């Protein structure tokens, strides 16, 4: 799936693999292939995390995530990541109103 911003620029790419309609994990080779296909003229640096995998593109323009439990891989622009963070912050602020 590809998500576009208001200017029709791709800002989020989601990849999920299925076998018999059941989500299955992406292999390291498949993850590396998706990173390579979305590296532009940059390189990816992997972050150390406990459960999921995260990468930052060295040009700072994109991030990639692999969610092990949900079996999906995403590549997002910095702008998209910031919009998601702002939306999450607003939701959390609303949830504590009145306390």
**Over the stretch 71-91, which tens digit does the pLDDT of each residue have?**
999 999 999 989 989 999 999
What is the reported pLDDT for 36? 95
What are the boundaries of each domain within the chain? 2-95
What is the reported pLDDT for 10? 85
Mean pLDDT of 87-96: 89
What is the reported pLDDT for 23? 94
Distances, alpha carbon 49 to alpha carbons 16, 21, 55, in Å: 21, 29, 10
What is the reported pLDDT for 9? 80
Contacts of 78 (CB under 8 A, 6+ apart): 60, 61, 62, 63
Summarised one tens digit per residue, pLDDT across range 25-75 is 999 999 999 999 999 999 999 987 777 899 999 999 999 999 988 999 999
């Amino acid at each position: 799936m590809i998500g576009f911003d208001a200017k029709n620029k791709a800002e989020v790419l989601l990849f999920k693999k299925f076998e018999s309609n059941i989500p299955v994990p992406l292999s390291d080779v498949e993850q590396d292939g998706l990173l390579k296909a979305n590296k532009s003229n940059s390189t990816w640096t992997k972050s150390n995390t406990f459960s999921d995998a995260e990468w930052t593109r060295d040009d700072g323009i994109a991030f990639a995530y692999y969610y092990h439990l949900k079996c999906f891989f995403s590549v997002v622009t910095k702008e998209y990541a910031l919009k998601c963070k702002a939306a999450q912050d607003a939701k959390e602020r609303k949830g504590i109103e009145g306390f």
